[in-house]
Amino acid sequence: MDLTQPLSSLVPTLDAETLTVLARTEQPLTGRRIAELARRGTHPAVQKVLDRLADHGLVDVQPAGNARLYTLNRDHLLARPVLEAVTARETLLARLREQIGSWEVPAVHASLFGSLARGEAGPASDIDVLVVRPSDVAEDDQTWQHQLADLEQRVSRWTGNPLSWFETTEEAMLRALGSGEHGDGGEEQVVSSWREDALNLSGEPLRSLLARLGPHAEAGAGR
């Protein structure tokens, strides 16, 4: 599924772009402004889509001087499935938080990072999740591994996209913070990526976790 533009999985045309813009605001917009906000499509092409959607009652039109303003008709029978498709990314985040938050063996931390977190994911994109395993839980712990495998299967069923775990521990993160393979911040590049992209899903927030580990890493680097 195209998790940046989920509606395109159902409607692989300019209609998806147009409806997505309208679904994400209740402010009336001109056809030109809708074309500017859409990821693709010229103003004339978007205008044809708007005219057709208005004929079907899915889009409301109101005059504004020489212009016309458009809004999604949220009372329309088809408005709900449109809104649900457009907000599929948010629904996925909510499901990830719910599932990870209910684990029998809680994660120290879990967050989304990578292309989906940046809003750049496409149909072939992995769903990248950083998960920090508790120090007293072995890597091959059956309950822990079952939790990871179960969520992988669920995400594949929900989206068609693979879930890609980046599994680590606080000890490994500590080493990454003080590693010789530095990014611009004096740490491994992957940690810098987490800082920039991560959307918290469960457990201790990443910023708090890195701040807690940071002073130890600095002390270790000084030895």
* pLDDT band with cut points at 50, 70 and 90 for residue 193: confident
Q: Please give the pLDDT value at position 181.
A: 45
Q: Please give the pLDDT value at position 179.
A: 59
Dump pLDDT digits (tens) for 68-111: 999 999 999 999 999 999 999 999 999 999 999 999 999 999 99
* pLDDT band with cut points at 50, 70 and 90 for residue 183: very low
Dump pLDDT digits (tens) for 114-161: 889 988 888 889 999 999 999 999 999 999 999 999 999 999 999 999
User: What is the residue-averaged pLDDT of the chain?
Assistant: 89
Which of 50, 66, 84 terminates a domain? The answer is 84
Q: What is the CATH number of the domain that holds 22?
A: 1.10.10.10
Structural domain range at position 168: 89-221
Q: How many domains does the chain have?
A: 2
Query: For the chain, what is the HEC assignment?
Result: CCCCCHHHHCCCCHHHHHHHHHHCCCCCEEHHHHHHHCCCCCHHHHHHHHHHHHHCCCEEEEEECCEEEEEECCCCCCHHHHHHHHCHHHHHHHHHHHHHHCCCCCCCEEEEECHHHHCCCCCCCCEEEEEEECCCCCCCCHHHHHHHHHHHHHHHHHHCCCEEEEEEEHHHHHHHHCCCCCCCCCCCHHHHHHHHHCEEEEECCHHHHHHHHHHHHHHHHCC
Residues 127, 210 within the same domain: yes
Residue 113 lies in a domain: yes
Percentage of residues of the chain with pLDDT beyond 70: 91
Dump pLDDT digits (tens) for 209-223: 988 887 544 333 322
Prediction pTM value: 0.83
- The Cα 192–Cα 165 span in angstroms is 17
Q: Please give the pLDDT value at position 184.
A: 46
User: Over the range 199-217, which residues count as b (16 or more CB within 10 Å of their CB) and which as e?
Assistant: ebbbbbebeebbeebeeeb
Task: Tell me: pLDDT of 40 over 50.
Answer: yes
Residues 50, 140 within the same domain: no
Residues 52, 94 within the same domain: no
Q: Please give the pLDDT value at position 174.
A: 83
- 7 Cβ partners below 8 Å, 6+ apart? 16, 19, 20, 23, 82, 85, 86
Q: Identify whether the C-beta of residue 124 lies closer than 8 Å to the C-beta of residue 96.
A: no
Q: Please, how many CA atoms are within 13 Å of residue 222, restricted to the half-sphere of its CB?
A: 6
Residues 73, 94 within the same domain: no
Taking residues 178-206, report their average pLDDT. 73
Dump pLDDT digits (tens) for 4-20: 889 999 999 999 999 99
Which of 84, 119, 137 terminates a domain? The answer is 84
Percentage of residues of the chain with pLDDT beyond 90: 70
